[in-house]
Amino acid sequence: MRAAFGWVLRGSLLGGLAFVIFGPLANLVLWAVAIQWYYPHKLPLTWGFKYWGEVFKPTGDSIAALGTSVLIACITVVVCLLLAVPAGCALGRKRLPGRPLILLILLLPQAFPNLPVYFNIARQFYMVGLNGTIAGVVLVHAAHGLVIAVCIAAAAFAAIDPELELAARNIGASAGRTVLTVTLPLAMPGVTASAIFVFLESLDEFTGTYFVGVPDVTTLPLVMFTASLAGNYQIAAITALVLLVPSIGFMLLIERFLKAETLAKIG
């Protein structure tokens, strides 16, 4: 009797949680396949993929924005890794002079709200002609992603056993060859995790692009935002679903890439 009561309690709590987690997502999916839906009807009146054709029209704004988003995210990953891998390598080894101060400066963007910083960057970019350019948006995304990328890379390099590198040097490998054939391959899982993270952050980024990119650079989150505020819920829902795919995919795979402790550095 008590056991049965326990299962009823657990079942209803987990059921409630499932409703809270999936309810909002289900509402999004409903809007993505609705053609007509208004109050007081609880479900869409007409269903179909009419708006999908509109969103995925090869000449449409959304496809162009998706292209821009992916382009920006790819360049951001390259820029971030070029900066983060050497920095992570140096920070991962404890010999760096002034390490606490450097760490403090690198962590600052995590500790303070970024929004006021973005519109001040936009103001500076405006003066040097970077506002409304892909380069400007990439710089803002890279600065934001850098903190995470450096932290993950530093953790990856710190976990490498220095004896392995010493062994390579002892049997005659040069310093450069040791880095390329021993250190970097060992740090690769961490570097890959940084890359995926920076890519996702850039793809999903809204606030920085809103101040620095508008009106010339339109990314998918901006298309979604504009559609939502204009009341085009179908368009907003479909573009939101496109943004959801990589996010959910990474959530399902996260434990293959990172331990929970490493995640702590991500925020």
Partner 1 sequence: MSDRRSAQLLLVAPALAMVLALFVYPLELSLVSAFTTKDGEPSFDNFTKALELYGTDIVFTFVIVTVSTLLIGLFAAAIGGYLVLGAHPVAVSVLKNLYRWPLFIPFIVAAQCMRTFLAKNGIMNNTLATIGLVDVGSVSGLLDWRGIIVTFVWKQTPFVALLVSGAMAALDRATVEAAANLGASGMRILIEILLPQVAGVMLVGLILAFVTMLSVLSVPIMISGGSPTMITVDMAFRVNSYSDYGVANALGFVSYAIAGLGAWVYLRRSVASDGAP
- Nearest of 80, 221, 196, 203 to residue 142 by alpha carbon: 80
> What DSSP string runs through 242-254?
HHHHHHHHHHHHH
Q: Select the span of 57-65, 68-76, 165-173, 246-254 touching partner 1 (CB under 8 A).
A: 246-254
CB of 97 to partner 1, least distance (A): 5
19 counts as binding partner 1 under rule CB under 8 A: yes
Place of tokens 């062994």: 167
Number of residues in contact with partner 1 under rule CB under 8 A: 97
In the bound state with partner 1, the residue whose beta carbon lies nearer, of 23 and 59, is: 23
In the chain, how long is the greatest CA-to-CA distance?
78
What's the distance, CA 3 to chain centroid? 43
User: N- to C-terminal Cα distance for the chain?
Assistant: 44
Map residues 180-209 to x or -, x wherever contact with partner 1 holds by CB under 8 A. Answer: --------------------x---x-xx--
257 counts as binding partner 1 under rule CB under 8 A: no
CB of 243 to partner 1, least distance (A): 5
> What DSSP string runs through 189-210?
HHHHHHHHHHHHHHHH--HHHH
How far apart are alpha carbons 153 and 73 in whole angstroms?
Answer: 19
On whether the CB atoms of residues 74 and 246 are closer than 8 A, the answer is no
159 counts as binding partner 1 under rule CB under 8 A: no
What distances in angstroms separate CA 27 from CA 18, 19, 31, one per listed residue?
14, 11, 6
Q: Select the span of 48-56, 63-71, 86-94, 178-186 touching partner 1 (CB under 8 A).
A: 86-94
CB of 175 to partner 1, least distance (A): 10
Report the residue from 18, 159, 167, 188 that binds partner 1 according to the rule CB under 8 A: 18
Report the residue from 109, 133, 135, 173 that binds partner 1 according to the rule CB under 8 A: 109
In the bound state with partner 1, the residue whose beta carbon lies nearer, of 59 and 197, is: 197
In the bound state with partner 1, the residue whose beta carbon lies nearer, of 59 and 257, is: 257
In the bound state with partner 1, the residue whose beta carbon lies nearer, of 6 and 67, is: 6
Residue 24, preceding peptide bond in cis (omega within 30° of 0) = no
Task: Enumerate residues 112-151 that contact partner 1 by CB under 8 A.
Answer: 112-124, 139-140, 142-143, 146-147, 150-151
